[in-house]
Amino acid sequence: MGRIEAVFAAAPAKKPAFIGFAVAGDPDKATSIRIARALISGGTDILELGVPFSDPVADGPTIQKADERALAAGTTPDTVFEIVREIRKESEVPIVFLTYYNIVYRRGVRKFYKEAQEAGIDGILIADMPVEESGEVCAVAARCGIDPIFLITQTTSDERIKKIAANARGYLYLVAVLGVTGVRDQVSDGAIDLLNRVRRHTKLPLALGFGISTPAHARTCAHAGADGVIVGSAIVEIVEKNTGKPDRMERDLKAFVSQMKKAI
C-alpha cells in the first residue's frame, strides 16, 4: 500500500484528509523547507508542492505571485527535488507535485519521474495535461510507483469522468469553482453536485480544492462526504504576509492547519 492510499485507508469515517499546498522555493529554498515542516507539524495529511512555473494557467494571482517569488529566488526543478529530499529526512507524509507539462517535457518524462521517485514523491498532478494525452506519463508513473492525479471540473462530462477515473490513482482532485485558484466566500452548490456526480463513477478518494480557505468551508466539504480537503491560496497568503518573518510564518501556518483539521 502506497503512502497516499494509506492516508485515506486510515482516515476515520466522514473525516476528510487535509491536503495542504505550498509553492516549492517560495520565498526561498530554506524558508520553503520550514514551511513544509510547519504544515506537517500542524497536521497536514498530504503535502502538495507546486513546482514553480512562469505561466501557471490554473492558478490565480496569489499562487502566481508565489511562483514569481520562487523563480526570482532561483528555484529550478533541481531545487524542488532537493527540498523534497530534505523533507523526507524527517517525514513520511505523502508528497504530491502539482506541475505543468512543459516542466516535465523539458526535463524528459522518464527522467522527471525517476528523479521524483528517488526523491520520495508519491503523486504528480500535471494541471494542463488532458487525460487523452496522458498515456506515456501514466505508463512511466506506474513503473515508478507514482500516482497520476487528475483534475475534474464542474464542466467535465460523465464520459470523461469515467475515462479520467480509469487512469487516475491516489485520489481525484475536484475543482470546487469555475475559474482559477483563489480564496472564495463559500463552497458552491456546484462543488457538492460535482462531488456526488463523480462518486457515482469511481471508488477513488475524492478531494475538493480551489477556493477552500476557512474552517466553515472545510466543515461543508466534510459534511458533503469529501474524502479530502485541499487548501492552497489561504496557505500561500500566510506565507506572503509573513515573508521576512519566518518564525511568525511558521507559527501562523501551524495554527491555521490545526484550525482546519479541527473543523473536519
Which of the residues are catalytic?
48, 59
CA distance 56 to 243: 21
Phi, psi of 156 (to 5 degrees): -70, 130
**C-alpha separations of 114 from 60, 122, 148, 249, 261 in Å:** 30, 12, 14, 33, 33
Instruction: Give the closest residue to 136 by CA, choosing from 122, 128, 148.
Output: 148
Cβ neighbours of 40 (radius 10 Å) = 20
Q: Given the DSSP bridges, would you call strands 206-209 and 147-149 parallel, antiparallel or unpaired?
A: unpaired
Calculate the dihedral angle through the C-alpha atoms of 89, 28, 22, 24, rounding to the nearest 10 degrees.
-60
What residue spans of the chain are helical by DSSP H?
3-10, 29-42, 61-72, 77-88, 101-107, 109-119, 135-144, 158-167, 189-199, 215-224, 233-241, 246-263
Query: Which cell goes with 234?
Result: 489561504
Give 156's DSSP letter: -
The sign of the torsion formed by the CA atoms of 55, 195, 178, 47 equals negative
